[in-house]
Structure 1
Amino acid sequence: MVLSEAQILAWLGHFMWPFLRITGLFITGPFYGSSSIPAVVKALIAAAYAAALAAWLPNLPPFPADPISAIFAGLIQIAFGAVLGLAMQIIVSIVASTGELISLSIGLGFAEMQMPGSAVSAPVVYNLMFWAGLMAYISAGGPIFLFAAIAHSFQAGIGTGGLAPWDQLTTLGETAISSAVWLAMPVLAVTLSINLTVGLTTVFAPQMNLLTIGFPLLIIVGLWVFTGSIVFLDHDFHHLMDLAMHSVTAMLPHG
């Protein structure tokens, strides 16, 4: 059996187009891009996903035979997959940033720990909220949605759509800080009240300074309010997930 170059490129295109987009998704997407997963395992999972999509996707164009065109097309596909994963990564980062704001406001910014696979240390509350946001993202079906988005992105071919819908990703990034502050608002409001109260108290009783009274009170009350406010983050997180899913859907090319 003799295979022509056109047949080889056609078969290669069915596998490479989804594989490249999934590779980009594995670079930035939450859970998929975790540093705890070895690179070899990621490559095997990406190849398995691509092989599954190759049997389901409609007829895709052959992979370019010219090396320059192949490299350029590959970079475009990887970048498109990375942008889709970045939209969901912003949501997890918002929840993690909430933990960092809380740790700084209650005086626990010095309590840091280094997670396995990470080159830098981060505040304990930041790590706690990061894993909480990641688990909430997984339980909300985020990884499945991203894989479905990659699959449906080929319904209009291998195009990446226009640049206008990508403005929604910029809008999503703009809300990162404001959303993190809003999620941390209960703790920030309480810690501000404690700081003002202790500051006024020291005017009349200098022995009740920030170190002896304010600092322990700040940590105890701050952690208490933080623990009590976690149960109310569910609605806000689902709103952020809906916003991210809407942004990802808008960025998909439509035939």
Structure 2
Amino acid sequence: MFDFTSVQMQAWVASFIWPFFRITAFLVASPLLGHTAIPHKVKLALGVFLTVLIAPLLPPIPSIPVFSMAGLGLIIEQMLIGIAIGLCMRMVFSVVQAAGEFIGMQMGLGFATSYSPDIGSSSVIISKFLYQITLLMFLAFSGHLVVMELLLDTFRILPIGGVPLNPGAWKLMALYAGTIFSTGLLLALPLIAALLLMNLAMGILNRSAPQLTVFAIGFPLTLTVGLVLMMVMMTSFGPFLERLFFSGFEFIKVMLAALGEKRV
């Protein structure tokens, strides 16, 4: 028979429970694996599977009782690390969503909205279209594998129970959120500028020839030109997403290094 003590049992539980909370928090917060279309049972099963795989490879786990205040604090710390990585990737995808909102409003499709369960609110249909393409491109670039590698690498950069998290890293992540507007506007800027010039020309035409029904042809013309310009934009959409994903991965590395910095 196999005999084991309560100390050994506690060590086995601790070696599983700490990484489980970090991995599961990432799966819930990430834009791809955390999508509402994926059942919670699947996310939970994937978290258990990944934890069982990497638990033997982790550094020594601190001997902290699981059911204690110190254990609760360690659980919250692991969840914060996983959520931070997931939020960084969600910011990357929000860049494309913001660009879709800008383009849709300029094309006159601000009324064409639908409910997005992944963000919990309504979004312009152009934004959802670009978001779905971004998800497919993320899989094509093997971005999900890169993110999982970064997640597993956090156990080396931020070992469980190692150093306290540096609060300055959260400010760094908040500043990175500004790329949602700046980079999204940069992506949509060619279409916005072209459609703005076209609306300006139609306004001048309406003033010079009031008998022309510019308002009757304005919306279909704007919509047609916008769709044509989006087709042209798709030729460079892939390289743009590749650079966007790469910058997101680099920022995750910077943020993890900042979280592990010792406070003076």
For normalisation by structure 1, the TM-score amounts to: 0.91
Query: Please, which of 225, 231, 236 is the counterpart of residue 227 of structure 1?
Result: 231
Which shows bigger deviation, 203-212 or 91-100? Answer: 203-212
Deviations 1:8-34 (A, max 9, x none): 221112211211111110121121101
Distance 1:172 1:138, change over 3 A: farther
| In structure 2, C-alpha distance between the alignment counterparts of 1:86 and 1:117, rounded to whole Å | 13
Query: Please, which of 193, 199, 217 is the counterpart of residue 197 of structure 2?
Result: 193
2:135 equivalent in structure 1: 134
Q: Which runs of 5+ in 1 are unaligned?
A: none
Structure 2 residue identity aligned to 1:130: Y
Report the Cα offset of residue 250 of structure 1: 1.8
Which shows bigger deviation, 117-126 or 21-30? Answer: 117-126
Tell me the secondary structure at the aligned position of residue 111 of structure 2.
Answer: coil
Decide whether the 8 Å contact of 1:98 with 1:181 is kept in 2.
yes
Distance 1:118 1:150, change over 3 A: closer
The 5 Å alignment of 1:173-212 reads: 173-212=177-216
Report the Cα offset of residue 118 of structure 1: 7.4
Decide whether the 8 Å contact of 2:14 with 2:66 is kept in 1.
no
Structure 1 residue identity aligned to 2:148: F
The 5 Å alignment of 1:89-100 reads: 89-100=90-101
Structure 1 residue identity aligned to 2:166: G
Report the Cα offset of residue 242 of structure 1: 1.8
| In structure 2, C-alpha distance between the alignment counterparts of 1:47 and 1:89, rounded to whole Å | 23
Distance 1:166 1:119, change over 3 A: closer
Q: Which runs of 5+ in 2 are unaligned?
A: none
Which shows bigger deviation, 133-142 or 39-48? Answer: 133-142
Pairs aligned (count): 255
The 5 Å alignment of 1:43-122 reads: 43-114=44-115, 120-122=121-123
Distance 1:163 1:242, change over 3 A: farther
Report the Cα offset of residue 63 of structure 1: 4.6
Decide whether the 8 Å contact of 2:32 with 2:135 is kept in 1.
yes
Report the Cα offset of residue 66 of structure 1: 4.1
Which shows bigger deviation, 117-126 or 195-204? Answer: 117-126
Percent identity, please. Answer: 27
Structure 2 residue identity aligned to 1:11: W
Deviations 1:119-164 (A, max 9, x none): 5442211110111111122222222122212211111521465344
Decide whether the 8 Å contact of 1:26 with 1:85 is kept in 2.
yes
Distance 1:167 1:137, change over 3 A: farther
Decide whether the 8 Å contact of 2:66 with 2:72 is kept in 1.
no
For normalisation by structure 2, the TM-score amounts to: 0.88
Decide whether the 8 Å contact of 1:57 with 1:154 is kept in 2.
yes
User: What RMSD over aligned residues (CA atoms) do the two structures have, in Å?
Assistant: 2.2
Tell me the secondary structure at the aligned position of residue 64 of structure 1.
Answer: coil
Structure 1 residue identity aligned to 2:247: L
| In structure 2, C-alpha distance between the alignment counterparts of 1:70 and 1:188, rounded to whole Å | 52
Tell me the secondary structure at the aligned position of residue 33 of structure 1.
Answer: coil
| In structure 1, C-alpha distance between the alignment counterparts of 2:235 and 2:167, rounded to whole Å | 38
Report the Cα offset of residue 116 of structure 1: 7.0
Tell me the secondary structure at the aligned position of residue 122 of structure 1.
Answer: strand
Report the Cα offset of residue 36 of structure 1: 0.3
